[in-house]
């Protein structure tokens, strides 16, 4: 083979070997131009790095429609409606002032038992006593209290003077001075004075109050108690 022909064959083989190398050259060139770690370069300007810098940040509060102030800065109590309902509603009535002392001379006294008894209303909701009531009862000889019940109130009696026959839940009792009587709520009971010539007197307690209001149906006496 002549030297010129050999040179042509070698040149052709060299081109075949150089083709793959040239095909890989752009990738090698891209890696060679990448910025080393810690330096600014094409890879340091990726959008993902910008978003990761704010990953833990909270968005600012949305402005309100008035003055541009954040809505979260307005205290909830400032926008809450005031107690008492809508404008123009009737305000709730104030409870009666509590009276810690009520004398028998100033307490209302009503005629009961068909004119044979008196009831002096001492403590009840009208005097601020909302848990119980206290009444002084007086029954003349022959006076009676018909059988009845108090569904929501228990009754307690302390006998100051005289005697009476009582029936509580079907049980007959003779009660007199110094006795205490307990009548559960809902228990049927009645009383009849048996002491001749003497007035039956008792302190009556209702817990809770309410049944004593039936005494107000009788006429109120103008004279003070005990006079």
Report residue 21 as tokens. Answer: 């190398």
Q: What are phi and psi of 7, to 5 degrees?
A: -65, -35
Tell me the residue range of the domain where 190 lies. Answer: 109-217
77 within a domain of the structure (yes/no): no
pLDDT digits (tens, 9 = 90+) for 12-70: 554 444 444 434 444 444 444 444 444 444 454 444 444 444 444 455 555 444 444 44
Q: Is the residue at 204 inside a domain?
A: yes
CATH number of the domain residue 182 falls in = 2.60.120.10
pTM: 0.57
| Residue 17 resides in a domain | no
The residue among 63 and 144 whose pLDDT is bigger is 144
């Amino acid at each position: 083979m002549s030297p010129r022909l050999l040179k042509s064959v070698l040149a052709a083989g060299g081109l075949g070997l150089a083709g793959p190398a040239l095909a890989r050259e752009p990738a090698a060139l891209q890696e060679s131009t990448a910025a080393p770690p810690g330096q600014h370069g094409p890879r340091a300007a990726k959008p993902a790095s910008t978003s990761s810098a704010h990953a833990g940040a909270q968005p600012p509060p949305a402005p309100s429609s008035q003055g541009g102030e954040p809505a979260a800065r307005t205290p909830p109590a400032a926008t809450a409606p005031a107690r008492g309902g809508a404008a123009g509603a009737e305000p709730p009535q104030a409870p009666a002032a509590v009276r810690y002392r009520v004398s028998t001379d100033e307490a209302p006294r009503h005629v009961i038992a068909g004119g044979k008894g008196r009831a002096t209303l001492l403590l009840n909701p009208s005097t601020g006593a909302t848990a119980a009531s206290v009444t002084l009862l007086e029954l003349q000889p022959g006076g009676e209290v018909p059988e009845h019940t108090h569904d929501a109130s228990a009754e307690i009696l302390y006998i100051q003077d005289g005697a009476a026959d009582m029936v509580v839940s079907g049980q007959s009792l003779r009660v007199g001075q110094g006795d205490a009587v307990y009548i559960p709520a809902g228990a049927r009971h009645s009383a009849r004075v048996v002491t001749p010539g003497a007035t039956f007197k008792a302190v009556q307690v209702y817990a809770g109050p309410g049944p004593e209001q039936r005494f107000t149906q009788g006429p109120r006496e103008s004279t003070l108690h005990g006079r």
